Amino acid sequence: AQTVTQSQPEMSVQEAETVTLSCTYDTSESDYYLFWYKQPPSRQMILVIRQEAYKQQNATENRFSVNFQKAAKSFSLKISDSQLGDAAMYFCAYSGFQKLVFGTGTRLLVSP
Amino acid sequence: GAGVSQSPSNKVTEKGKDVELRCDPISGHTALYWYRQSLGQGLEFLIYFQGNSAPDKSGLPSDRFSAERTGGSVSTLTIQRTQQEDSAVYLCASSFSGVYNEQFFGPGTRLTVL
């Protein structure tokens, strides 16, 4: 069974600084997708970024980028120029061709 | 267009009662998912509907839990004889065909079992 591990329950960053959230996963599949979702206090889950495993190039969405290391089964999220609105729970998720498997989340605190 | 909607937003019930939670997915999305999020936990997969295929029920924690999807659209998650450990936020999501597509989440239903 696939598992997703987020080892950082909570991270802090100051506005305008950069922070990296860690995620590792375990799978025997070769084709899969990885996601980072953001859940602000409103509870609404929002997709931040998606990575296809067959693509070597790391995905980027504006201030958000990933460091995808397939051999190491690592998928970290880097947030550049952090903003107060980035404060939320961040969930890493794995998808083969069945259900999504989520990590336990990392709470990101952003201070002025 | 409208996003995924869920009702009710909050539900308080007594132990032993049955509850029904509703999800209206985005129009045109063929896939629909239910998750459970307990306090301080990640999302726990419950059930997955894809088009007219038999649903993937592998995440349902007990036979007290069931779900239906009528007409390929609205879904209802039913919990029978609720227990205190059923207290959680129940999230619904929908997507275009395939779990590799972005899932759009509803705001969730917070269930409290007294």
Q: How confident is the model at residue A29 (pLDDT cuts 50, 70, 90)?
A: confident
Give percent of chain A with pLDDT exceeding 70. Answer: 98
CA distance A100 to B46: 10
| CATH (domain of B80) | 2.60.40.10
Asked if pLDDT for residue A98 goes beyond 70, the answer is no
User: Who contacts A99 (Cβ-Cβ below 8 Å, separation ≥6)?
Assistant: B33, B45, B48, B56, B58, B59, B99
* Cβ of residue B98 closer than 8 Å to a chain A Cβ: yes
Q: Å from A3 to nearest chain B CA? A: 12
Q: Do A95 and B59 touch (CB under 8 A)?
A: no
* Cβ of residue B56 closer than 8 Å to a chain A Cβ: yes
Q: Is A42 exposed, middle or buried (0-12, 13-18, 19+ CB in 10 A)?
A: exposed
Asked if pLDDT for residue B1 goes beyond 80, the answer is no
Chain A residues 91-110 within an 8 A CB cutoff of chain B: 91, 93, 95-105
Mean pLDDT of chain A, nearest integer: 93
| CATH (domain of A65) | 2.60.40.10
CA distance A44 to A46: 6
Residue B114 placed within a domain: no
Which sign, positive or negative, has the C-alpha torsion B91, B94, B97, B101? negative
Residue B77 placed within a domain: yes
Residue B112 placed within a domain: no
Mean pLDDT of A70-77: 95
Query: How much is the pLDDT for A62?
Result: 95
Domain count, chain A: 1
Q: How confident is the model at residue B112 (pLDDT cuts 50, 70, 90)?
A: very high
Q: Do B105 and A45 touch (CB under 8 A)?
A: yes
Query: How much is the pLDDT for A93?
Result: 93
Domain count, chain B: 1
- Is the CB of residue B3 less than 8 Å from the CB of residue B106? yes
